Amino acid sequence: MGGVDCTGNHLYSVGPYGSVDHVPYLALGSGDLAALGILEDGFKTDLELEKAKELVRASIHAGIMSDLGSGNNIDICVITRQGVDYIRPYQESQYKDSRKIKYRYSPGTTPVLTEKVAPLNLEIVQEAVQQMDTR
């Protein structure tokens, strides 16, 4: 999760169980180890916008090339005080997909065997509000 407010820019890693970490850069997904290596090597807090875009492009490319499950094109999103800029595609892949057959499945191909909906009756026992550390 990231954004810009009156105190500056912020990036947070939000874990699946609710943990929150304030981080200077982040890579998540199946190619994240290769991407993090590039980010760790090239990150500086005062990068110019074009150099930052190139660093992000290189890190995503490293993740793509080291993971068979990743896509091919590189899309980036730049968040500044002026707004959000979605750059799609930032770089198109030189490796085009040449599948020999189309994998199309008709609706109902995989049947639902059973379905049970059970309402949850929950009671709040204790509620606490804490201010998030944004330093």
Average pLDDT, the chain: 88
CB 75 within 8 A of CB 88: yes
Alpha-carbon gap, residue 2 to 23, rounded angstroms: 10
Work out how many domains the chain is built from and give that number: 1
Sort 47 into a burial class: Cβ within 10 Å, 0-12 / 13-18 / 19+.
middle
Query: What share of the chain in percent tops pLDDT 70?
Result: 96
Indicate whether 103 belongs to any domain.
no
CB 43 within 8 A of CB 55: yes
Alpha-carbon gap, residue 126 to 73, rounded angstroms: 47
Asked whether residue 106 carries a pLDDT value surpassing 90, the answer given is no
pLDDT in the model for residue 96: 65
Indicate whether 21 belongs to any domain.
yes
Indicate whether 86 belongs to any domain.
yes
Indicate whether 123 belongs to any domain.
no
Per-residue model confidence as pLDDT tens digits over 31-74: 899 999 999 999 999 999 999 999 999 999 999 888 877 778 89
> Quick one: average pLDDT of 113-135?
84
Residue 67 maps to which CATH number? 3.60.20.10
More confident residue, 5 or 103: 5
CB 11 within 8 A of CB 2: yes
Indicate whether 20 belongs to any domain.
yes
pLDDT in the model for residue 98: 66
Query: What share of the chain in percent tops pLDDT 90?
Result: 55
What domain range includes position 50?
2-91
Alpha-carbon gap, residue 19 to 122, rounded angstroms: 22
Long-range contacts at 106-112 (CB < 8 A, ≥ 24 apart): none
Indicate whether 70 belongs to any domain.
yes
Indicate whether 17 belongs to any domain.
yes
Indicate whether 102 belongs to any domain.
no
pLDDT in the model for residue 76: 94
